[in-house]
């Protein structure tokens, strides 16, 4: 699969490492330009590109940038029809006051409104990068961590759940994008490293 990754920080860099190790064709980009990604490319074999190039050539796009940077991502229909994995979280101390999110809109719904036409799926936002890198386990392992996956497009969600499984984690259906607040920071599932039943229980226990 051709995977474009926007963001080379903790989660973006980790997914670059993991997906290339699985044999996917990965192109990584960030806001500072391809020249800043040479070390990561040399380590992983991933290609480097501008954000626009990474998106255009991808079957799946991962967005792993500070949420405040989402409105600065390219427009002009670049994301229309693309399967986009939203790995972002809203941290007010870092991202500032975003009125819609402060009023209760799920951050993934807000992101989807900026990335017009994208088939957006929320995933990889509940786990520490080091655990994502090191703690994948074979299917059926008793200590396998589960990750929630939320989205409105059933086919897109299924594809992302297959990627989660291939990385060594149990995918759990987290509902629609409007339900994805249940896996945001401050909820029981966030950074909890639970198994599949534990993730389902945590999603059900989430309160605003």
Q: Cα separation of 85 and 191, whole Å?
A: 18
pLDDT of residue 90: 98
User: How would residue 184 be classed by pLDDT, with cut points 50, 70 and 90?
Assistant: very high
Tell me the two tokens of residue 18: 């993991």
Structural domain range at position 134: 2-205
Number of domains in the chain: 1
Percent of the chain with pLDDT over 70: 100
pLDDT in tens, 58-95: 999 999 999 999 999 998 899 999 999 999 999 999 99
100: Cα within 13 Å, side-chain hemisphere: 15
Residue among 44, 51, 46, 68 nearest 7 (CA): 51
Question: Which residue in the block uniquely carries the two structure tokens 């590109």?
Answer: 49
- The predicted model scores a pTM of 0.97
Q: Cβ(165)–Cβ(16) under 8 Å?
A: no
pLDDT in tens, 116-157: 999 999 999 999 999 999 999 999 999 999 999 999 999 999
Q: What is the mean pLDDT of the chain?
A: 97
| Dihedral over alpha carbons 139, 140, 146, 147 (to 10 degrees) | 20
Q: Cβ(47)–Cβ(77) under 8 Å?
A: no
What CATH number has the domain bearing residue 107?
3.40.50.720
């Amino acid at each position: 699969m051709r995977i474009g990754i926007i963001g080379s920080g903790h989660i973006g860099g980790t997914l670059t490492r993991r997906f290339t190790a699985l044999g996917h064709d990965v192109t990584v980009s960030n806001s500072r330009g391809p020249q800043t990604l040479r070390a990561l490319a040399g380590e992983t074999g991933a290609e480097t590109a501008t954000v626009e190039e990474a998106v255009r050539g991808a079957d799946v796009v991962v967005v792993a940038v500070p949420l405040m940077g989402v409105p600065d991502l390219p427009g002009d229909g670049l994301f229309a029809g693309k399967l986009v994995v939203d790995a972002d979280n809203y941290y007010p101390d870092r991202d500032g006051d975003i009125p819609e999110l402060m009023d209760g809109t799920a951050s993934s719904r807000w992101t989807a409104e900026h990335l017009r036409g994208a088939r957006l799926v929320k995933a990889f936002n509940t786990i520490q990068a080091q655990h994502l890198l090191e703690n994948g386990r074979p299917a059926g392992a008793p200590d396998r961590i589960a990750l929630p996956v939320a989205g409105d497009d059933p086919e897109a969600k299924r594809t992302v759940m297959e990627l989660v499984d291939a990385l060594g984690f149990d995918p759990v259906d987290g509902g629609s994008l409007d339900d994805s607040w249940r896996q945001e920071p401050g909820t029981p599932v966030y950074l909890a490293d639970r198994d599949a039943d534990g993730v389902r229980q945590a999603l059900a226990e989430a309160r605003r």
